[in-house]
């Protein structure tokens, strides 16, 4: 093959260009500190880098969530401690007022301090964190207690748990519902129990419910009336319970509560338990026998007792403070003495809630420590995957610089004689 001067020059330029490209690669790595600049440089490293960056971002978000949750819990714990102090002081004053040596004027003065403690208790019930009321369940933009009247300002159910996600598939409840605190575990939503139990009755089988009428209502649903047709004869308690259950769930509106009926035998007697299934145990359930003579009356059904705490009503803690004030203002030492045990129950309820809050705080602390470790581990993996080895890269760059200089030196020797040299 004939080698021409043009071929020599072109090959020299191509080789010098390739050397520059390799030297540029290592210069970019040194300047950026990264192995790749675009995914095409190394698709495997790029894919792994995207995954690790996502993992690090998730851990950072979980860490922020944990810190926010911890701050909320810290405010809650501090508030609960203050509420406990208020109740303890109220108990001390009640003990002091129960002393029979006090005059009415003395107990009235003590009642004035209890009045201030009551106002402080309401203020603590409306504590906020970052502009959100911490005891108002989901309604964090609305205060729990009306400061003027001491009544619940809103309905809030104990199932309204605010949860923060602090890990993959790991969330934690950070709030304390106001009903749990101010109604000693009762809902502040005024809902009735979803279970209605009849009284113990004597049944002589077979039982004939032909023509018996029941009225059943759950929460604000439309009442349904069930009239048993002729021939509704049952030979045992379980068959009777199943027949009542079938009739209720087949009424209009049809079966939306999934009510179950069970017969419970106590000695020689029976009682019937009605439970709202779909809506749960917090649904307001009532079942009342309307007509049908002895068989209907034997079911012993009545509406359950409503839990105190709906909007416009007063929570137990405030009621107890009011009772103490009333007793002390009237100089009733015996009534004040009887309220000491009530205040002890209130204090124990606050301690129960504080124990639960403390347990959740410890869990958040453990999770935060784990997230710190995860952040370090994932960051290290990300660095190992993306970052260059500086010593190795400097060595490679130096080698490419030497090759480039050699190529320039070699190129300078290509066709050194020129046309003038041949004209001499």
Domain annotation covers residue 132: yes
Closest CA to 128 of 188, 165, 79, 187: 79
**pLDDT for res 305:** 37
Does 299 score more than 90 pLDDT?
no
Domain annotation covers residue 30: no
**Across residues 75-88, what is the average pLDDT?**
96
Does 391 score more than 70 pLDDT?
yes
**pLDDT for res 417:** 65
Are residues 222 and 146 part of one domain?
no
* Cβ atoms < 10 Å from Cβ of 380: 11
Are residues 284 and 204 part of one domain?
yes
Are residues 150 and 94 part of one domain?
yes
**pLDDT for res 292:** 46
Domain annotation covers residue 13: no
Are residues 350 and 252 part of one domain?
no
| Beta-bridge partners for 217 | 286
For residue 307, name the pLDDT band (cuts at 50, 70, 90). Answer: very low
Are residues 110 and 177 part of one domain?
yes
Comparing 282-286, 360-364, 385-389, the range with the smallest average pLDDT is 282-286
Are residues 365 and 220 part of one domain?
no
Does 61 score more than 60 pLDDT?
yes
Are residues 80 and 172 part of one domain?
yes
**pLDDT for res 204:** 73
What pTM value is reported for the model? Answer: 0.62
Domain annotation covers residue 292: yes
Domain annotation covers residue 383: no
Are residues 60 and 160 part of one domain?
yes
Are residues 344 and 239 part of one domain?
no
Are residues 199 and 180 part of one domain?
no
> CA distances (Å), 349 to each of 119, 120, 254, 343, 354, in order?
20, 18, 41, 10, 9
Boundaries of domain holding 225: 195-298
Does 282 score more than 50 pLDDT?
no
Comparing 22-26, 98-102, 263-267, the range with the smallest average pLDDT is 263-267
**Across residues 237-257, what is the average pLDDT?**
73
* Cβ atoms < 10 Å from Cβ of 259: 24
For residue 47, name the pLDDT band (cuts at 50, 70, 90). Answer: confident
| Residue 211 three-state SS | coil
Q: What CA–CA distance (Å, rounded) separates 384 from 48? A: 11
> Which CATH number is 146's domain given?
1.20.1330.10
Most confident of 16-30, 237-251, 343-357, 401-415: 343-357
**Across residues 271-287, what is the average pLDDT?**
57
* Cβ atoms < 10 Å from Cβ of 341: 10
Burial 79-107 (b: 16+ CB within 10 A, else e): bbeebbebbeebbebbeebbeeebeeeeb
Burial-class residue 150 by CB neighbours within 10 Å (0-12, 13-18, 19+).
buried
Are residues 182 and 315 part of one domain?
yes
Domain tally for the chain? Answer: 2
Domain annotation covers residue 101: yes
Domain annotation covers residue 37: no
| Contact by Cβ (8 Å): 152, 189 | no
**pLDDT tens digits along 145-196:** 998 888 888 887 778 889 999 988 889 999 999 888 988 766 655 444 455 5
Are residues 246 and 141 part of one domain?
no
* Cβ atoms < 10 Å from Cβ of 31: 9
Last residue of a domain, one of 240, 273, 298: 298
**Across residues 394-412, what is the average pLDDT?**
83
Domain annotation covers residue 1: no
Average pLDDT, the chain: 80
**pLDDT for res 363:** 93
Last residue of a domain, one of 345, 373, 401: 373
Last residue of a domain, one of 276, 298, 320: 298
């Amino acid at each position: 093959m004939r080698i021409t001067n043009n071929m020599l020059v072109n090959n020299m330029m191509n080789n010098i260009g390739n050397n520059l490209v390799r030297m540029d690669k290592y210069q970019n790595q040194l300047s950026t500190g990264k192995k790749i600049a675009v995914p095409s440089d190394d698709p495997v490293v790029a894919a792994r880098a995207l995954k690790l960056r996502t993992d690090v971002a998730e851990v950072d978000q979980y860490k922020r969530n944990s810190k926010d949750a911890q701050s909320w819990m810290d405010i809650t714990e501090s508030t609960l401690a203050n509420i406990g102090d208020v109740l303890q002081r109220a108990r001390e004053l009640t003990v002091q007022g129960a002393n029979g040596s006090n005059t009415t004027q003395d107990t009235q003065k003590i009642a004035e301090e209890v009045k201030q403690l009551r106002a402080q208790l309401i203020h603590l019930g409306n504590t906020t964190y970052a502009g959100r009321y911490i005891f108002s369940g989901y309604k964090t933009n609305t205060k729990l207690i009306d400061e003027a009247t001491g009544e619940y300002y809103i309905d809030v159910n104990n199932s309204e748990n605010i949860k923060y996600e602090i890990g993959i598939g790991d969330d934690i409840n950070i709030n304390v519902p106001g009903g749990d605190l101010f109604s000693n575990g009762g809902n502040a939503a005024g809902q009735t129990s979803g279970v209605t139990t009849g009284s113990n009755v004597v049944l002589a089988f077979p039982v004939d419910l032909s023509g018996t009428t029941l009225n059943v209502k759950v929460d604000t649903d439309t009442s349904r009336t069930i009239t048993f047709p002729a021939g509704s004869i049952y030979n045992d308690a379980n068959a009777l319970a199943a027949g009542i259950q079938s009739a209720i769930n087949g009424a209009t509106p049809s079966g939306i509560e999934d009510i179950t009926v069970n017969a419970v035998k106590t000695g020689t007697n029976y009682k019937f338990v009605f439970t709202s299934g779909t809506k749960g145990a917090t649904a307001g359930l009532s079942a009342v026998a309307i007509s049908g003579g002895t068989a209907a009356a034997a079911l012993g059904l009545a509406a359950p007792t409503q839990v105190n705490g709906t909007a416009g009503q007063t929570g137990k803690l405030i009621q107890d403070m009011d009772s103490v004030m009333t007793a002390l203002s009237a100089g009733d030492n015996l009534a004040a003495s009887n309220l000491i045990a009530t205040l002890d129950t209130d204090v124990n309820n606050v301690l129960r809630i504080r124990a639960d809050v403390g347990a959740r705080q410890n869990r958040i602390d453990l999770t935060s420590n784990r997230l710190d470790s995860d952040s370090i581990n994932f960051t290290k993996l990300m660095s190992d995957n993306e970052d260059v080895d500086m010593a190795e890269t400097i060595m490679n760059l130096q080698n490419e610089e030497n090759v480039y200089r050699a190529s320039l030196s070699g190129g300078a020797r290509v066709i050194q004689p020129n046309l003038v040299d041949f004209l001499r």
